[in-house]
């Protein structure tokens, strides 16, 4: 299994890392779709990037919200999509 799609189990749920998304906001973040050029509450509609660098490049092309947009992890756990901050390296 590749490191990118590493699965781990927590209790009975299997969690799969899908990639990285562009998001803004704290308590209810909005995710960005590169194809539509729009922000969505539903992370299923977001563009998923394979690398952090690709997501950061896309942030550079934003006209609005460039300062508040950030790269976040996206993963699935069963039927749920979860986003979280990228850990500093």
For residue range 22-61, what is the model confidence (pLDDT) as tens digits?
999 988 899 999 999 999 999 999 999 999 999 999 999 9
2 assigned to some structural domain: no
Tell me the residue range of the domain where 77 lies: 7-85
Give the confidence band of 5 by pLDDT, cuts at 50, 70, 90. low
List the one residue out of 66, 22, 76, 69 whose CA is nearest residue 47: 22
Q: How far, in Å, CA of 22 to CA of 48, rounded?
A: 8
Report the domain count for the chain.
Answer: 1
**pLDDT tens readout for residues 9-23:** 555 578 899 999 999
How far apart CA 44 and CA 47 sit, in angstroms, is: 8
Q: Examine residue 72 and state whether it is found in any structural domain, yes or no.
A: yes
Helix (H, G, I), strand (E, B) or coil at 15: strand
Q: Is residue 1 part of a domain?
A: no
Does 44 map to a domain? yes
- Per the domain annotation, does 36 fall within a domain? yes
């Amino acid at each position: 299994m590749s490191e990118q799609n590493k699965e781990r189990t927590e209790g009975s749920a299997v969690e799969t890392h899908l990639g990285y998304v562009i998001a803004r906001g704290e308590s209810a973040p909005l995710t960005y779709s590169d194809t539509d050029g729009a922000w969505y509450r539903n992370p299923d509609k977001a563009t998923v990037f394979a690398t952090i660098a690709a997501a950061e490049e896309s942030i550079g092309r934003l006209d609005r919200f460039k300062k508040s947009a950030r790269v976040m992890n996206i993963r699935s756990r069963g039927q749920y999509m979860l986003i979280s901050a990228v850990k500093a390296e």
